[in-house]
Structures are given as structure tokens and as C-alpha cells.
């Protein structure tokens, strides 16, 4: 029986778990990303935690992270991990610390691998998983295979431009999707709307620093007019962006994953309305927008573990 460590590095949380061949969890834990000063410190923290709390061995390590170049096996210019440097050679750092083989995959690719192996997409040939959180990522399966692109950078959905001369993005461009529907973008939109609303919003009762996408979605469910307007804007930008993809790739299903997707069915329904509006008639009634049923952290951790298992069994052949 082989055992793998899967790690999911997000802009807010880092989740990891040890799984065996049948992908049952043997150990699970998590860290706050902002509490970790460097990538070397991350390797030390996880290494020490596992040494102290898990009594078995590990055969290989899969890591899902944002802005991964899967060819160089480095994180390159990740806007939400700037603190750790522009180029983060995570494979090398973890291999030196753990003395085990490591593979690094884009976090959204890890979620897509998770959806294919453990979720709803087992039989699908063409689908995408969009991760909604601090950043916006996407993993794509085309003709049954994960599509990574010529430079290993495919699926950077968060950085397609949805407004010319729009909000400044950490990537250097302006008007990127992420600046509107990433966590910070949603909060910014809500604050802008609140400034111009004449009082009639329950969001006014929350201190500005406590406004989160989850609070906004909660308020929208109570028919709060400002919150509803914000959710509608998020759904429009997301639905429009998904429609572009459906027109290009002719996906069977598109899945929403990540923290913001957990806000429930309202965002999915509204997004689906806009997705259909901008999708060609031939595919409009066929493509389905679903919320990934794999818990987002588990899905990416399992996907990262599945990636190293695939790589190691491939290497053994």
C-alpha cells in the first residue's frame, strides 16, 4: 500500500493530508497562509507537524498551488503569494526537506484532477473546474486529458480582461476578472455600492472590515437590495466568462469550486442565466453549470495526491 501527501496552497489557507492508495485520509491538517513567512518555512512546518503526529511513511508528495508552471515545477509570479518571492522552486524545496519525489500542479488543475477521480466528472471528456476564492483559477480537461498549455500555464481565467481600463490587477494588467469576482473584488464592489446606497442595506450594520463574500451572499438571500446587486454583478462577469469558454471548448459540464462557490445555489443559478445568455444556441441547453460536490479543500488535496500517484506509477512503467 502506497501513501501520498497532498498539499493545497491557497491565498488564505494551506490544507494538507496524507492519503493511501484508496484515497482514505490518514491524517489532515491546515495552516493560515499569512502565518507562513517563506516557502522554506512552509516545508519545515509541514515536515515537523507530520513527524510529530503521523507514524507512517510517505511515498511521494503532490502539491497544488496558484501560478504553477508545471514545466519548471515552480510557482512563478503568484500575485497572492508575493511574500514568498517571484519565483518559488517548491519542488526542490520540498524534495530537499522530505527526501521524497514531489510534483507540483496548478491548484485549479488539482481540483480538476480531483473532480475527475473522485467527483462528478468521472465519465466526462470535456469539462472545466473553476475555483472561486482569493484568486480565480481553472482546470480544463479536453478529450479526456488535463490541458496544461505550451508553457504549463493554461487556465488563468482570473486574468482575462473583462473591463478595458478597469480595476488594477496585481498581475500588472487592469480590468482582470479576478479584480471583480475574487474575494477582495467582491468586497470592494460591495463597499462601493454601500457608499452610494442611502441606508437601506443590512450590510451597513456590519463593520466594513467584517464584510466578506459569505456575508454578502447571506444578505442577498434575505433580499437585501445592495447585496443582490453585488451578487448579480459577480454572476454576470462569471457567466459571461464561462460562456466564452463554452463557445471555445464546447464543455459538457462546468463546475464551480472553492470558498466562494460554497455560498450556495443562488450564485450558480444567476451565473447560469448569464452563461446561457452569452453561449451559442447549439450548446446553450446542453452545457451544465454545477457546484462541485467535493469539499473544496479535500478536492484539491486529493487531486494533488492523485497527481503524484499518477506520476509515480507512470514512472515505474
Total number of residues shown for the chain:
317
The smaller minimum CB distance to Zn ion, of residues 48 and 82, is found at 82
Size of the site for Zn ion (CB under 5 A): 5
Q: Find the part of the chain contacting Zn ion (CB under 5 A) among 27-35, 154-162, 207-215, 265-273.
A: 154-162
Q: Find the part of the chain contacting Zn ion (CB under 5 A) among 3-11, 85-93, 161-169, 188-196.
A: 161-169
The smaller minimum CB distance to Zn ion, of residues 169 and 234, is found at 169
Choose which of 91, 116, 159, 298 interacts with Zn ion (CB under 5 A).
Answer: 159
Q: How far is the CB of 143 from Zn ion (least distance, A)?
A: 29
Q: How far is the CB of 170 from Zn ion (least distance, A)?
A: 7
The smaller minimum CB distance to Zn ion, of residues 177 and 302, is found at 177
- How many other CB atoms are there within 10 angstroms of residue 284's CB atom? 14
Choose which of 176, 219, 227, 307 interacts with Zn ion (CB under 5 A).
Answer: 176
Q: How far is the CB of 123 from Zn ion (least distance, A)?
A: 34
Output the CA torsion 68→69→70→74 (10° steps). -70
Q: How far is the CB of 172 from Zn ion (least distance, A)?
A: 7
| Residue 120 three-state SS | coil
Q: How far is the CB of 261 from Zn ion (least distance, A)?
A: 20
Binding mask 107-146 for Zn ion (x = CB under 5 A): ----------------------------------------
Q: How far is the CB of 39 from Zn ion (least distance, A)?
A: 22
The backbone region for 37, taken as left when phi is positive above 0, alpha when psi lies in -120 to 50, beta otherwise, is alpha
Strand 101-106: give its sheet, edge to edge: 25-32, 13-20, 3-9, 60-65, 101-106
The dihedrals phi and psi of 254, each to the nearest 5 degrees, come to -125, 130
> What is the grid cell recorded at 222?
434575505
Residue with cell 443590512: 202
Q: Quick one: which H or E segment has residue 229?
A: helix 225-249
For 248, counting Cβ atoms within 10 Å of its Cβ (0-12 exposed, 13-18 middle, 19+ buried), the class is exposed
Q: Find the part of the chain contacting Zn ion (CB under 5 A) among 16-24, 80-88, 165-173, 226-234.
A: 165-173
169 touching Zn ion, by CB under 5 A: yes
The smaller minimum CB distance to Zn ion, of residues 80 and 300, is found at 80
CA distance 54 to 149: 37
The smaller minimum CB distance to Zn ion, of residues 138 and 176, is found at 176
Query: Please, which of residues 59-98 interact with Zn ion by CB under 5 A?
Result: none
Listed as own residue / partner, the contacts of 279-288 with beta carbons closer than 8 Å and 24 or more positions apart are 279/243, 279/246, 279/247, 280/246, 280/247, 283/246, 283/247, 283/250, 286/252, 287/246, 287/251, 287/252, 287/253, 287/254, 288/252, 288/253, 288/254
The smaller minimum CB distance to Zn ion, of residues 166 and 225, is found at 166
Q: How far is the CB of 156 from Zn ion (least distance, A)?
A: 8
Per-position DSSP letters for 292-312, written without gaps between them: --S-HHHHHHHHHHHHHHHHH
The smaller minimum CB distance to Zn ion, of residues 90 and 162, is found at 162
Q: How far apart are the first and last CA of the chain?
A: 17
Q: How far is the CB of 173 from Zn ion (least distance, A)?
A: 5
Binding residues (CB under 5 A) for Zn ion: these are: 159, 169, 171, 173, 176
Amino acid at each position: 500500500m502506497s501513501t501520498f501527501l497532498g498539499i493545497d496552497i491557497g491565498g488564505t489557507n494551506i490544507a494538507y493530508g496524507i492519503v493511501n492508495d484508496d484515497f482514505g485520509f490518514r491524517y489532515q491538517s491546515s495552516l493560515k497562509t499569512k502565518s507562513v513567512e517563506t516557502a522554506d518555512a512552509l516545508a519545515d512546518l509541514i515536515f515537523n507537524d507530520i513527524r510529530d503526529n503521523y507514524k507512517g511513511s510517505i511515498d511521494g508528495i503532490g502539491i497544488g498551488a496558484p501560478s504553477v508552471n508545471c514545466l519548471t515545477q515552480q510557482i512563478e509570479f503568484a500575485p497572492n503569494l508575493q511574500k514568498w518571492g517571484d519565483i518559488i522552486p517548491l519542488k526542490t524545496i520540498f524534495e530537499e526537506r522530505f527526501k521524497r519525489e514531489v510534483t507540483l500542479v496548478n491548484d485549479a488543475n488539482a481540483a480538476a484532477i480531483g473532480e475527475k477521480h473522485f467527483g462528478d466528472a468521472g465519465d466526462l471528456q470535456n469539462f472545466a473546474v473553476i475555483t472561486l476564492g482569493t484568486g480565480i483559477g481553472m482546470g480544463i480537461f479536453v478529450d479526456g486529458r488535463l490541458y496544461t498549455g505550451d508553457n504549463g500555464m493554461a487556465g488563468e481565467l482570473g486574468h482575462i480582461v473583462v473591463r478595458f481600463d478597469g480595476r488594477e490587477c496585481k498581475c500588472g494588467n487592469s480590468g482582470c476578472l479576478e479584480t471583480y469576482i475574487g474575494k477582495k473584488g467582491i468586497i470592494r464592489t460591495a463597499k462601493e455600492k454601500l457608499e452610494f446606497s442611502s441606508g437601506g442595506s443590512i450590510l451597513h450594520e456590519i463593520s466594513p472590515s467584517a464584510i466578506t463574500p459569505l456575508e454578502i451572499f447571506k444578505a442577498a438571500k434575505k433580499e437585501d437590495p445592495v447585496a443582490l446587486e453585488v451578487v448579480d454583478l459577480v454572476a454576470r462577469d462569471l457567466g459571461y466568462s464561462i460562456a466564452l469558454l463554452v463557445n471555445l471548448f464546447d464543455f459538457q459540464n462546468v463546475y464551480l469550486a472553492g470558498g466562494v462557490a460554497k455560498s450556495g445555489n443562488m450564485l450558480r443559478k444567476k451565473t447560469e442565466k448569464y452563461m446561457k445568455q452569452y453561449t451559442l444556441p447549439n450548446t446553450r441547453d446542453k452545457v451544465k453549470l454545477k457546484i462541485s460536490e467535493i469539499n473544496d479543500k479535500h478536492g484539491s488535496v486529493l487531486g494533488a495526491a492523485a497527481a503524484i500517484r499518477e506520476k509515480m506509477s507512470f514512472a515505474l512503467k
